[in-house]
Structures are given as structure tokens and as C-alpha cells.
């Protein structure tokens, strides 16, 4: 089923004409969706009541509906469970922090990468999201506040859904829509080397985050099976090429898991690996997943790890846990619904 959000202005105008409405309504509807975060016809009050009723039955405004919203007690982080027309459930998270409003979006239902520690891949992948479904997640977050940043760090491997990823980036950066700067978007990948080259070739200057999770091929391969296809050496070359093509620094994500990859020797190896590359590391203390036995290291272990890596001149940040209370991290809300 097609929704108004799935159509560009020309296609929407044609669709409206085919159901007996004037073409100019396309612009009205798109202004509501993209500029005012008005996502249902009922509240598009400049449309006559008859038209709103007519469209509700002919052409849904949005490709997803909200099944559940889970705010943290301070209300600043909201996890949204969204339902697609085929009843698949998708998660998106809105995170407000001062003037910053970051939306974490999913790119697939489930994930095929099967990282050992991740909830999203426990049941494999059901399907790719459409670009309308990706954009819809951002618009549902825009209801809370103007979106300043978008991270493709929800469910799925965005580079496995490459055409729809690029399409959604084009919609999100289109000046007639919410007109985000590509520089405010970050694509997170497990590290699919050929697709990183493809992304570089588009020349779109989105930020790139690469999930490293180990300083050597053996440690990384244990946690990230998809990584076994490409060596860390190849991955670093792809990252270099990405920086050269887009002018963007690459961030390496490193989830810290007790007893797996969080020892001082791993920190030292990571520091040596990235010293002088100009890349930065984002440490993510492991967010426990029900049914998996991995645990996060103690806070002083995390601090020591960060200190060792930064002693090699590598910029290190440690992720703040904003969404844990609403099981916001990493494909976990959907699982609480028994899906």
C-alpha cells in the first residue's frame, strides 16, 4: 500500500488528480508532513473536511502508524514502536539533549548481520524498509521538536538496503522537505567494504560510523560474523577513501563487552591501530540484551580503556546511556512485544 509520504510532489499531484482532487493539494499535504509535523489529514485544517475524509479512505498520509510511545521519566528520550501496513514492527528513538534533537532510525525489519551480542539480528531479517518508512520515522520524531541530527543506528544494516538508504537521504536533504544538511546525518555500518566505496562514490557528505568492536580480525570476527568477509586492513582503507571522497572524518564504534574486547591489551591494540589516522572512536558500554549472556564492563574499566586509547592520540568519546530505561538501545523494544 502506498501513502502520501511515499510519493514525490509530482507523483502525489498525479495521484490526487486520479481521485478527483486538484493537483495543488499535493503541496499543501507535503507542507503539513514535512514542515509542520502534521501527520494526519484530520489536523490538516486548511483542507476541506470532505477532502480530508475522502483522502483518509483513498491514500493514507503515512506508511507507518504509532503502536506505542515509551518516554523516559524526563520525557527527553522517546522510543517509538511503529507498525507498517504488513504488520511488521519498527523502532525509532527521539533523543533531545539541549538544542540537539537526534533521531535514531531503523533501515530494515530485523537484521541479517547476526552480531553475537545484538538483539536486532536474533531472528534474521524480514525485509528492507522503503524510503517512505525510513523518512516516516524522522517525521514522527519531528512532532516533538525540530530534528537536528539523524543516525542510521536503529534496526538493520543500512548499507544492505543501499538504494532505499540513498533515496531516503535524498528526501531528507531535499530543500522542499525538511531540508536537513547531509552533514547532520550519520550512517552506521557493520563494515561492508564494497558498499562503503559505493557510498563514497555518491559524494553525499553524510557522516560514516563503522562498527569495529575489536582491534584485530580474530576478536572482531568472533563478535561480528559479517566482518570475517573483510579484513580490518581493508576496512581502514575503505574508511580512508571515504574521508578523502567526502571530507568527513570516520568514527569507529566500539561496543565494550566484559571478557570479550574490553581489556587494556585490546585498548592498546586499538590505539596503535588508529594512531595517526585522524579517525575517532565512540565507545559504547554494552547494553545487556535479554536472553544473551554478555555483560558490560565496570565503569572504571571503561574509563581505563578510554584513557589508553586516547594516550595514542586518538579522539575518544564514550556514549551516554540515554535510552536504557525504555530499552531504547538496539532493537530491544520490538522483542518485548513478543514478535
What are the residues binding ligand SAH (CB under 6 A)? 113, 115, 117-118, 153, 157, 188-190, 211, 253, 255, 284, 286-287, 289, 329-330
Spatial neighbors of 312 by CB under 8 A, at least 6 apart, are: 268, 271, 272, 274, 275
> Cα separations (Å) of 134 from 64, 118, 138, 141?
10, 21, 7, 12
Concerning whether 253 is annotated as a catalytic residue, the answer is no
Neighbours of 26 (CB within 10 A): 22
Nearer to ligand SAH, 154 or 177 (CB): 154
330: annotated active-site residue: yes
Distance of closest approach, residue 312 Cβ to ligand SAH, in angstroms: 21
Catalytic residue among 104, 115, 118, 330: 330
Residue 61: partners with Cβ closer than 8 Å, 6 or more residues away: 3, 4, 5, 29, 33, 39, 40, 41, 55
Taking the complex as a whole, the smallest distance from the CB of residue 191 to ligand SAH amounts, in Å, to 7
Helix axes 131-142, 162-173, angle to 10 degrees: 40
Choose between 7 and 113: whose C-beta lies nearer to ligand SAH: 113
Strand 280-285: give its sheet, edge to edge: 64-71, 77-84, 89-97, 100-104, 149-152, 185-189, 207-211, 250-256, 280-285, 315-318
Give the closest residue to 212 by CA, choosing from 304, 316, 92.
316
Burial of 282-301, coded b for 16+ CB within 10 Å and e otherwise, reads: bbbbbbbbeeeebebbeeeb
Other CB atoms within a 10 A radius of the CB of residue 279 amount to 21
Considering the complex, state which of residue 132 and residue 158 has its C-beta at the smaller distance from ligand SAH: 158
Q: Which is nearer to ligand SAH, 131 or 332 (CB)?
A: 332
Min separation Cβ 152 and ligand SAH, Å: 7
The smaller minimum CB distance to ligand SAH, of residues 2 and 114, is found at 114
Tell me how far, at minimum, the Cβ of 318 lies from ligand SAH, in Å: 12
Smallest separation, CB 104 to ligand SAH (Å): 8
Please say which residue, 55 or 284, places its beta carbon nearer to ligand SAH.
284
As a 3-state breakdown, the chain gives helix, strand, coil percent values, each rounded to 5, of 40, 20, 40
Q: How far is it, in rounded angstroms, from Cα 72 to Cα 85? A: 28
User: Shortest distance, CB of residue 116 to ligand SAH, whole angstroms?
Assistant: 10
User: CB–CB of 100/136 below 8 Å?
Assistant: no
User: In the complex, what is the shortest distance from the CB of residue 156 to ligand SAH, in angstroms, rounded to a whole number?
Assistant: 6
Nearer residue to ligand SAH within complex by CB, 190 or 273: 190
**Which of 21, 88, 91, 296 is the catalytic position?**
91
Three cell numbers, residue 305:
580503556
Return the beta strands (E) in the chain as ranges.
Answer: 64-71, 77-84, 89-97, 100-104, 108-110, 125-128, 149-152, 185-189, 207-211, 250-256, 280-285, 315-318
Active site residues: 91, 330
Amino acid at each position: 500500500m502506498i501513502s502520501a509520504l511515499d510519493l514525490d510532489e509530482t507523483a502525489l499531484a498525479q495521484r490526487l488528480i486520479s481521485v478527483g482532487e486538484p493537483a495543488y493539494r499535493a503541496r499543501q499535504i507535503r507542507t503539513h508532513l514535512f514542515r509542520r509535523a502534521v501527520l494526519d489529514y484530520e489536523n490538516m485544517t486548511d483542507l476541506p473536511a470532505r477532502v480530508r475524509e475522502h483522502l483518509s479512505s483513498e491514500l493514507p498520509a503515512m506508511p507507518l502508524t504509532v503502536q506505542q510511545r515509551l518516554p523516559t521519566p524526563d520525557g527527553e528520550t522517546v522510543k517509538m514502536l511503529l507498525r507498517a501496513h504488513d504488520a511488521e514492527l519498527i523502532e525509532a528513538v527521539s533523543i533531545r539533549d539541549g538544542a540537539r534533537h537526534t533521531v535514531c532510525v531503523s533501515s530494515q525489519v530485523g537484521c541479517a548481520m547476526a552480531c553475537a551480542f545484538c538483539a536486532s539480528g536474533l531472528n534474521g531479517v524480514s525485509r528492507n524498509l522503503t524510503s517512505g518508512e525510513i523518512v516516516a520515522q524522522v517525521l514522527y520524531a519531528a512532532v516533538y521538536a525540530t530534528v537536528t541530527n539523524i543516525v542510521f543506528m536503529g534496526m538493520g544494516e543500512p548499507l544492505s538496503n543501499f538504494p532505499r538508504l540513498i533515496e531516503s537521504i535524498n528526501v531528507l536533504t531535499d530543500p522542499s522537505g525538511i531540508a536537513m544538511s547531509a552533514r547532520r546525518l550519520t550512517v552506521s555500518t557493520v563494515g561492508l567494504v564494497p558498499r562503503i566505496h559505493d557510498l563514497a562514490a555518491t559524494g553525499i557528505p553524510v557522516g560514516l560510523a563503522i562498527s569495529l568492536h575489536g582491534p584485530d580480525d580474530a576478536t572482531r570476527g568472533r563478535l561480528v560474523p559479517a566482518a570475517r568477509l573483510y579484513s580490518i586492513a581493508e576496512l581502514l582503507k575503505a574508511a580512508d577513501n571515504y574521508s578523502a571522497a567526502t571530507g568527513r572524518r570516520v568514527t569507529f564504534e566500539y561496543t565494550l563487552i566484559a571478557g570479550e574486547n574490553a581489556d587494556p591489551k585490546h585498548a592498546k591494540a586499538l590505539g596503535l591501530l588508529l594512531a595517526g589516522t585522524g579517525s575517532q572512536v565512540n565507545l559504547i558500554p554494552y547494553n545487556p540484551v535479554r536472553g544473551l549472556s554478555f555483560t558490560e564492563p565496570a565503569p572504571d574499566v571503561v574509563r581505563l580503556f578510554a584513557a589508553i586509547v586516547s594516550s595514542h592520540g586518538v579522539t575518544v568519546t564514550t556514549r551516554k546511556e540515554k535510552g536504557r530505561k525504555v530499552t531504547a538501545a538496539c532493537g530491544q523494544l520490538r522483542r518485548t512485544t513478543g514478535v
